[in-house]
Structure 1
């Protein structure tokens, strides 16, 4: 009997060794963290008490799972300090009351915020836009007074319209919200989520996503062709800056200069870094004439209408928050999140909107370029009609192929 037990143990250990890589891939870092948190009952009087032994176990798991090797003991000490702070931040977020979203520790856990901004963002506002912002500053107070007066008149008219409508039809606001849903993904014309890796070219991936869907709509094709974000990052130098940022208008102007043509991803694959612009042996798709327009600043209603009529929309967001860095699921809401156009620092694509019947919150559905393991399989849900949350409609562009 002892012989069988010994043999079984040996076989089990061999199996565990062989499948250790699969084990690390199947169990997320946050699941591993939560197993320790639940077992040790760190939630004591609404505060977290983490002992060094527990943090060390989680740190070891993180390094193994993401193959982290540091150049020196000093660097590892600094990375551990960053990791420990992020671990505490994510765990403490679970203690917040009335949360509508969930955070999780992920592969960015040993990155500083400065590194995250450098590698995972990359939206820059154009010189002309920056100049317009400066030129318009002295008109700010006059416009503000005008907006306040218009807002008051609008609220008064809206109050009487809604009062009269409710009197005739009854109040069915919640029923309407529950069916307020639109999503281009349901039409199978949105390409797969990509990963920009350590290159600040989110603008290139967002531009490619817009054009991919527009080309399917124009040609009525049954298949989506992935376009080359690498080409946009490498070649659109007039207004864009490779892995150091860019925007939608300069990207479109570059493609117009190429006769409205763009290379396929297969012929000009993504490298995760800026390269010399390639011009030979490319499979080019003729998009035709590319037109684009801007959503009126802060107008979420117009954003929704244009989304339905034209296709997915290029947006800028102020993603300067750990909530974006460690977002896992739910409807993200950030109190006092900046909405000024000059604060937008990350490009994404709005593909739809909906209403969460459990949370009772309308939301935007947004495609990101940080891989499928981030967020809801690479997507973010952001609070809709909530004061232009994080600038969702502050720097938004739509496109057309004619």
Structure 2
């Protein structure tokens, strides 16, 4: 570790020297940055390192934004509270190595969820749903315009996007059904989800477990509990999940059965007499365990069209994406596309709420997903991103998503 730190120090000092040779002096910008984002590095050594990282970030942004001004890329970058981190530090503090089925491994066989599952579930019915023609799906939907506008929350050096993205989706569905904005307790989940074999700020966790927790135990409102007085048993629960809908990316199928399911009624959601089924990429079940589903060789293809249909007829979804790139970390606006962003499930490392979709209001008319992130309001467009849509499942956006039907 000491050897690595020495190499890092040498590299940063070398970078500082090269910047000075170029006549680049942004020390004032650094102090302004620290003031704007409440950065306080008490040790001179650390302040020097952070300042050099910040200088490198400035150069990276300038180079990229020059391409943006010349029309070579469709989005621009900007300074935010993550700008004094290396890419490695960013990944270690905000992203997670474990995507959904890593959590459901042999180490978690004796957790509380599995015990309840064995005791309560006698018969589990899984339904395959028809895919509508794309022409029958609304061209655009933005659930923010229907009134769901809960505040953006910052992860703050915690790998808890799996919680924040799930909570945001649940709150949105509660609003769609009851026309009431609520704020669910993230602190309650972070502490109590370990009962279901999930992890914490240092590792990350599974969005499946969050939804299962909401179904089994319910989730209290943030203002109903004290932050440091969480018992995981006595809080008054205000939110319960009735059903879970999940897309599962699998390839080999033995049999498939198609049924038609009536869509939940909502005075806020788009309506059409012809819309009576949901995407075949979704599974409906009262409770489920991923290992059981895999053992039964149940196959459901997940894709962007399926997610579009789910968002249009049900509401926002929680989705896994690849967020490891510096262009994602420093995104400020425009239509995000980076050819280095992975579209495969095993490289997803972050969770977001997909709040809608549409086409850009420019001469390109390119399709986008409206992404709600958990990096605070200083990131992106007030906490949101326009991610390119229907282009080879960019950043893995349509690979794995989930949403609830609230009780």
Alignment TM-score, normalising by the size of structure 2: 0.68
Q: Is the 8 A contact 2:322 2:396 kept in 1?
A: yes
Q: Which residue of 2 aligns with 1:315?
A: 319
Query: Deviation of residue 301 (structure 1)?
Result: 0.7
1:103 aligns with 2:106: no
Q: Which residue of 1 aligns with 2:170?
A: 211
Q: Which residue of 2 aligns with 1:112?
A: 86
1:348 aligns with 2:352: yes
Distance 1:288 1:88, change over 3 A: closer
Quick one: distance in 1 between partners of 2:380 and 2:21? Answer: 26
Q: Is the 8 A contact 1:204 1:230 kept in 2?
A: no
Instruction: After TM superposition, list the pairs within 5 Å mapping 1:117-132 onto structure 2.
Output: 117-122=91-96, 124-127=98-101
- Length, aligned pairs only: 304
Quick one: distance in 1 between partners of 2:378 and 2:79? Answer: 11
Q: Which residue of 2 aligns with 1:369?
A: 374
1:232 aligns with 2:211: no
1:327 aligns with 2:331: yes
Quick one: distance in 1 between partners of 2:190 and 2:357? Answer: 29
Q: Which residue of 2 aligns with 1:242?
A: 200
Q: Which residue of 2 aligns with 1:252?
A: 211
Kindly indicate whether structure 1 or structure 2 has the higher relative contact order, using CA contacts under 8 Å at least 6 residues apart: 2
1:181 aligns with 2:140: yes
Task: Quote the RMSD (CA, aligned, Å).
Answer: 2.9
Quick one: distance in 1 between partners of 2:367 and 2:26? Answer: 37
The SS at the match of 1:360 is coil
Query: Deviation of residue 187 (structure 1)?
Result: 1.0
Distance 1:50 1:326, change over 3 A: farther
1:89 aligns with 2:48: no
Instruction: After TM superposition, list the pairs within 5 Å mapping 1:30-41 onto structure 2.
Output: none
Q: Is the 8 A contact 1:101 1:328 kept in 2?
A: yes
Query: Deviation of residue 128 (structure 1)?
Result: 5.7
CA deviations over 1:354-386 (Å, ceiling 9, x no partner): 101314211000111111121111111100001
Query: Deviation of residue 277 (structure 1)?
Result: 4.8
Out of 275, 278, 288, the residue aligned to residue 231 of structure 2 is 278
Q: Which residue of 2 aligns with 1:397?
A: 402
1:287 aligns with 2:287: no
Out of 19, 35, 41, the residue aligned to residue 70 of structure 1 is 41
CA deviations over 1:57-108 (Å, ceiling 9, x no partner): 2222222323333242221221122111111101110121422111001221
Instruction: After TM superposition, list the pairs within 5 Å mapping 1:8-47 onto structure 2.
Output: none
Q: Is the 8 A contact 1:90 1:103 kept in 2?
A: yes
Q: Is the 8 A contact 2:77 2:327 kept in 1?
A: yes
Q: Is the 8 A contact 2:335 2:388 kept in 1?
A: yes
Distance 1:129 1:228, change over 3 A: closer
Quick one: distance in 2 between partners of 1:105 and 1:231? Answer: 32
Indicate the larger mover: 342-351 or 230-239.
230-239
Q: Which residue of 1 aligns with 2:251?
A: none
CA deviations over 1:121-147 (Å, ceiling 9, x no partner): 347324468879xxxxxxxxxxxxxxx
Q: Is the 8 A contact 1:388 1:394 kept in 2?
A: yes
Q: Is the 8 A contact 1:120 1:198 kept in 2?
A: yes
The SS at the match of 1:94 is helix
Rg comparison, structure with higher value: 1
Quick one: distance in 2 between partners of 1:298 and 1:281? Answer: 38
Q: Is the 8 A contact 2:317 2:402 kept in 1?
A: yes
Quick one: distance in 2 between partners of 1:50 and 1:350? Answer: 45
